[in-house]
Chains A and B, each alone.
Chain A
């Protein structure tokens, strides 16, 4: 299977795989150079996966300014309004009371894990769904990537990892913003006790949001993309324990139970449990169960729907 040409074409340079055949490249004799003067490829799943990731980074790097602005503006505005403007005009009292029950916790302490989770969800889902929807619609450019010499599951996984990285970075961008943008006396009280757990929660959460993105990107009708914001991202965020800890919902018992079905709260509560452990949070086992289990289960479902969309 390695010989492409049954007979050596006249005048062809001896095809020596691996050896630099600069003469073939320099002389654009198309009939000779195109096939025989080429290095012989030896693809492996890992090499292909790495090359696909390299491609994602090339594109991300090119779009870095716009991606960065997209991930900075929202948390920046939130933090600015809620931890600078509102305290300055004396309107944040009710928030603090409601959120932290008046035990001296600043609102930015609540917001730090909440906004990190919110941006993680947003970037993780969008970073996976948007490219997928584009590649599946119109010219179906996904077909080209699907012809790479790896099982389609590897391609789906690669898409997830690329989205997860964006979610991960999106969450980290929030940290300096919350740390530095606030009125005096409103600084967050964050204190990491378990770096390993923090990393685990961030990675698992990133993968879960990317898995959600994969599932949505392969199920959604591209013409109804706006629905993604209205039906999924907005409710998930507003009811995702971003602006209040889950424990504070005890006074609205039905809501406290209802939001347990929102995967978002496990991200915000998970980050809360490692960043601001002073505030009451969901049990760690429940958080890890949902994040890791969700990443695996949703990722599996997403891979199935992905295969179904690619293959006819």
Chain B
């Protein structure tokens, strides 16, 4: 169902690719770059292609989002970029360092907040930060000072002596982000940072992430929440079934995908009787009309009047409207346009 609106990463990347003859490791610029990155798992029931060739380019200081439904391959991609999953094809670099050839070098430059709670449950809040600092070569004194700083900055001051097991979900997530920042990573990876958090906590966490971004932190975030990507990211890659469907700024994506309002009408019978395609043929603003089973879906630049026409046309054909929805251009309509499927969170 993908069409011509699928875009390659910005041409800046292509230009860089051509000028860098000295080899990928020496390329300055990109904070993250992947080239046809792939991961196939071999299981007893055959091969599973988790990632089927993803190419990305993230600039330093950028807040980049991988958006897609669960199982799209986002976490696998982050896993490969953070060296804990070994790619089966393609290449990837973080801060110019090859993730397969030099995983230790990559680990020095990244901070990772995985989806699961990987806090050291045997240690307190401060100790989690202290030892992270020491793992990265800080002296005990510096590590403690750094821990202090982060405990304050992340609003954990009154929980500093608490054991990691005793934290609430939001506190644990904040501590994990703080811990990922102890050693001043070049790139911060966040895998579904707000999954499972209550709305208030989530919005607070967004503020924290925005503040980090304002400070210049390069961030790659995966999310299956459209509104999270829209709220935070400079650029987004829409991922599904292990492939990038489209990448760009939110605005570019909306325009690239047709910037359409999507109108969906469901009837109580076969929607083919409405013959919506012929009905709307005269309207230049209508991009695409899909009829499937009992439903008609219209992609349009100008939604005025269309819903009414579909209702009337349905009545003429003896059909009653059971359900109607009009989605303004958003990442959700982009996803619909690209895949022809409802976005499944």
Interface residues of A in 119-159 (CB under 8 A from B): 139-141, 143-151
Contacts of B121 in A (CB 8 A): 141
Give complex CA distance A31, B212 in Å: 6
Q: Is the CB of A36 within 8 A of B84?
A: no
Contacts of A312 in B (CB 8 A): 41, 79, 84-86
Is A58 positioned at the interface, with any CB of B under 8 Å from its CB? yes
CB < 8 Å neighbour of A38 from B112, B118, B135, B146:
B146
CB < 8 Å neighbour of B119 from A43, A141, A147:
A141
Contacts of B145 in A (CB 8 A): 20, 25, 39
CB < 8 Å neighbour of B84 from A9, A151, A311:
A311
Contacts of A143 in B (CB 8 A): 84, 114, 116, 118
With A4-B186, A48-B135, A311-B84 already in contact, the answer to whether A35 and B212 are too (CB < 8 A) is yes
Contacts of A144 in B (CB 8 A): 114, 118-120
Of A49-57, A92-100, A173-181, A245-253, the stretch lying at the interface with chain B is A49-57
Q: Is the CB of A34 within 8 A of B181?
A: yes
| Interface footprint category on B | 35 or more
How many residues belonging to A are interface residues under a CB distance threshold of 8 Å? 50
| B192–chain A nearest beta-carbon distance, Å | 14
Q: Is the CB of A39 within 8 A of B116?
A: no
Kindly count the residue-residue contacts between A and B in the assembled complex, taking CB atoms under 8 Å apart. Answer: 149
List the B residue with the shortest CB-CB distance to A4: B184
Contacts of B182 in A (CB 8 A): 38, 41
Is B125 positioned at the interface, with any CB of A under 8 Å from its CB? no
List the B residue with the shortest CB-CB distance to A35: B215
Is B301 positioned at the interface, with any CB of A under 8 Å from its CB? no
With A6-B216, A51-B134, A54-B134 already in contact, the answer to whether A35 and B181 are too (CB < 8 A) is yes
Is B288 positioned at the interface, with any CB of A under 8 Å from its CB? no
Is A69 positioned at the interface, with any CB of B under 8 Å from its CB? no
A–B Cβ pairs within 8 angstroms, 14 of them: A4-B186, A4-B216, A6-B216, A9-B214, A18-B142, A38-B184, A39-B146, A41-B183, A54-B131, A143-B114, A147-B82, A148-B135, A149-B136, A310-B84
Which residues of A line the B interface, CB within 8 A? Answer: 1, 4-7, 9, 18, 20, 24-25, 28, 30-44, 47-48, 51-52, 54-55, 58-59, 62, 139-141, 143-151, 310-312
Which residues of B line the A interface, CB within 8 A? Answer: 41, 60-61, 79, 82-86, 95-96, 103-104, 107-110, 112, 114, 116-123, 127, 131, 133-138, 142, 145-146, 148-150, 152-154, 157, 181-186, 208, 211-212, 214-217
